[in-house]
């Protein structure tokens, strides 16, 4: 009888252990971070109605290197050389990391996506750099419309090429008319089913 009980118990136990998903238990503090889809609401929600479709692929260029969110980070970082500053942000309890690199005039954010470190955000931080279209921080709002078209809603323009979204924020300053207060390139929001 004892043999029967033990055999039955062992079968139940083994079946139970096979019933849930397999794989490495997520305990390594440096294990892959949440995918970029799991970034903050603020970083994600690009309302479609204001979005203009870019005629050409959107990119930023610095030191002769073409930069686009989604690109693998390692070759880009090598090509750009030593940054002015770098910062690694451990999130709560070290699950996932945001890595930031500060270069003259712009910053790169790097996250791990499906096991590969990729650029997820390019932020222009001052007027020493311009986009290939000629936009720069501090420029007038009219230049956005003249160079890229589109219409601002709630203080920003968005242009999307299907993979990359260019966000241009405008603000009212002391002089009449709005000026460009922020320019960033981010990954396009994944198409909703």
> Which parts of this chain interact with another protein (CB under 8 A)?
1, 4-6, 8-10, 12-13, 16-17, 19-27, 29, 31, 33-34, 38, 40-43, 45-47, 85, 87, 89-96, 100, 102, 107, 109, 121, 123, 125, 154, 156, 158, 167, 169, 182, 184, 186
Toward another protein, which CB reaches closer, 31 or 146? 31
In the complex, least distance from residue 60 CB atom to another protein, rounded to whole angstroms: 15
Output the smallest distance, CB 120 to another protein, in A: 10
Burial of 105 (0-12, 13-18, 19+ CB in 10 A): middle
CB of 61 to another protein, least distance (A): 19
Q: Whose Cβ is closer to another protein: residue 42's or residue 81's?
A: 42
Judged by beta carbon, residue 18 or residue 64, the one nearer another protein is: 18
The nearest distance, CB 43 to another protein, in angstroms, is 5
């Amino acid at each position: 009888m004892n043999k029967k009980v033990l055999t039955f118990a062992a079968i139940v136990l083994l079946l139970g252990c096979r019933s849930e998903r397999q794989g490495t238990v997520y305990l390594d503090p440096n294990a892959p971070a949440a995918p970029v889809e799991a970034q903050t609401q603020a970083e994600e929600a690009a309302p479609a109605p204001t979005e203009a479709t870019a005629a050409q692929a959107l990119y930023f260029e610095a030191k002769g290197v073409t930069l686009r969110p989604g690109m693998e980070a390692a070759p880009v970082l090598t090509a750009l050389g030593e940054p002015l500053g770098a910062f690694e942000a451990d999130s709560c309890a070290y699950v996932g990391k945001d890595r930031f690199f500060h270069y003259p005039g712009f910053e790169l954010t790097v996250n791990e996506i499906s096991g590969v470190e990729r650029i997820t955000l390019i932020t222009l931080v001052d007027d020493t750099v311009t986009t290939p279209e000629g936009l720069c921080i501090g420029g007038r709002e009219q230049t956005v419309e003249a160079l890229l078209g589109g219409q601002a809603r709630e203080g920003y323009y968005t242009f999307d090429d299907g993979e990359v979204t260019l966000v241009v924020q405008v603000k009212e300053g002391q002089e009449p008319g709005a000026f460009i207060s922020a320019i960033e390139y981010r990954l396009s929001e994944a198409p909703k089913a």
